Amino acid sequence: MKRTLGRSGIEVSAVGMGCWAIGGPWTLDGGTAGWSQVDDAESTRAIHAALELGANLFDTAANYGAGHSERILGAALQGRRDQVVIATKFGYDVDEAAREIRHYDAVTEESDVASRLRADLEKSLRRLGTDYVDVYLLHVWGLNIERALEARTILEDLVAEGKVRTYGWSTDRTDAIEAFSTGPGAGVLEQQLNIFDCDAELPRAGREDEPRQPQPRAAGHGHAHRQADADHYVPGRRRSRPRPVVRRHPGRPPQPGLARQPGRDPRDRDERGSNARPGRPGLDLGSKPNTVPIPGFRTVVQVEENVRAIEFGPLTPAQMAEIDRILGR
């Protein structure tokens, strides 16, 4: 089962691999942000298992393990670069030696990401052992739109230079999505799709031909507070009229801990991996034909469970409706 990644024309497997968990521990502005210690050898075996099972989309970020996820992924994919699609993310100061991530500026929303973008990309390319990335995603969820558009100008140049095939924004903000995705090189966007906590507008964001009013939300997968087991990609798109911002949990999240609401900063954008269960990607596969779930993994077994969920096929409309009924939606 294959899907086209947004309007980029890039063909990918219907289920991708989220590489947050294999980065291991790291900190964001002094707060714990990563998982416990990981087994790099097992991570490598898991990546190879994903390839053997037909998965070709790997989603990582400079933040994950403060570069460690990118390094493990790059090493595991040596000699196989032409077989895979790599997505990574940017927007923060990465200290690999200390395993620390810091905001570039005192006010995150006003962070000057654009002036550091080229240097960020070069560092990611070195860690990944490649000379281009297929998908490059802005990772600063709450960045001011004007600042984001400055970064978009650089991204368009990188697309023209062949260092980036397509780009997007990893955010759930509809105002940000509306503004950013009008760039000609913007082919995708990455959003949280969680069975307990997702905005009704978000699963629809990639479809120009669908009604703009809220519809019954598609069910995703993961847990509301601890686990957001899969983000998903939908196409970037062009619209002439903005929609209002949709925020179920406005503002910054509370301090790190089990009660954090997922999806509001890099610590939470895709908490996934140790909890992966078979069949979960089927929820995303059933939600929209233009979404690509990217559940996480730490072991070969979890990769097998995630990829082989495709064998069960998408959930039916009746099953999706029953999920909404059970959850009172």
The verdict on whether 233 is a catalytic residue reads no
Place of tokens 């969920």: 309
Measure the CA–CA gap between 284 and 260, rounded to whole angstroms: 23
Strand order in the sheet with 292-295: 188-192, 230-235, 292-295
Q: What is the DSSP letter of 222?
A: S
Q: What is the DSSP letter of 312?
A: G
Q: Which DSSP helix (H) or strand (E) runs through 319? A: helix 317-326
Residues 6+ apart with CB under 8 A from 263: 141, 172, 192, 194, 197, 228, 269
Strand order in the sheet with 100-102: 31-32, 27-28, 100-102, 93-95
Q: Is 29 left (phi over 0), alpha (psi -120 to 50) or beta?
A: left
Give the active site residues: 64
